[in-house]
Structure 1
Amino acid sequence: MQPVNLLKEFGQALNQEQFETLLENPHIRLQRIISPPAFRSEPFQQPEDEWVLVLQGEGILEIADEQITLGVGDSLLIPAGTPHRVITTSIDPHCIWLAFHLATRVTDPVNA
């Protein structure tokens, strides 16, 4: 078992978002995301709920035509199917996110 430092940056220059999957199973995917300075993403509309947490820096998201600023320690649940994108991210330090992608329907095998 090796410890993971969630604030350690990748060793290469950033010109696009970099994703590291930390945990994955049929119900959840946990990713660490490092955004380049002043990053702007394409729109997303995902089939699962996504909970994001800012570990370092700052990011501004556009969610359903509303801009939301998230700083260190701020988190947000983005429901499945909600259009969203990153408008911009901090320059120094880089914005580091923790993202949980949650299955929208978990079948209980006992009561199914």
Structure 2
Amino acid sequence: MLQLPGTRIERIVSTGQTTPVGEWFDQSWDEWVLLLRGGAELVIEGDAAPRRLRPGDWLLLPARTRHRVTWTDETTPTVWLAIHIGEPC
């Protein structure tokens, strides 16, 4: 959607996709995500329980926060707005 030095805004559509078992996202930049449609569940390393997201829910994932997507709705497309802050160009 938009890319500027150090910042990228993207729309992500998931239809049942998850992070492969044993893999984690571990980014060197901050990421803010807003769920616009559908549903998702994320596991954040160190948290006691997974986080279930519904439309309107958001998360700030600071740099080096290991996380993985463990569920997205298979019947309703899950639409995310993601803002990557401090991402290398």
Q: Same fold (TM over 0.5)?
A: yes
The runs of at least 4 aligned residues of structure 1 exceeding 6 Å deviation read none
- C-alpha distance in 2, partners of 1:33/1:65? 25
Q: CA RMSD in A?
A: 1.3
- C-alpha distance in 2, partners of 1:65/1:91? 27
The equivalences for 1:6-85 within 5 A come to: 22-37=1-16, 39-41=17-19, 42-66=23-47, 67-85=50-68
SS of match in other structure, 1:47: coil
TM-score (norm 2): 0.85
- C-alpha distance in 1, partners of 2:82/2:10? 5
User: Which amino acid is 2:31 matched to?
Assistant: E
2:76 corresponding residue in structure 1 = 93
Q: What's the % identity of the aligned pairs?
A: 41
- For 1:73-100, what per-residue CA distance to the aligned partner results, in whole angstroms no more than 9, with x for missing partners? 1000000001001000012211110100
User: Which amino acid is 1:43 matched to?
Assistant: W
Q: Which has the larger radius of gyration?
A: 1
Structure 1: runs of 5+ lacking an equivalent? 1-21, 105-112
Equivalenced residue count is: 82
* C-alpha deviation, 1:65, in angstroms: 4.1
Structure 2: runs of 5+ lacking an equivalent? none
- For 1:42-71, what per-residue CA distance to the aligned partner results, in whole angstroms no more than 9, with x for missing partners? 410001000000010010001114311111
Structure of greater relative contact order (alpha carbons < 8 Å, 6+ residues apart): 2
* C-alpha deviation, 1:36, in angstroms: 2.0
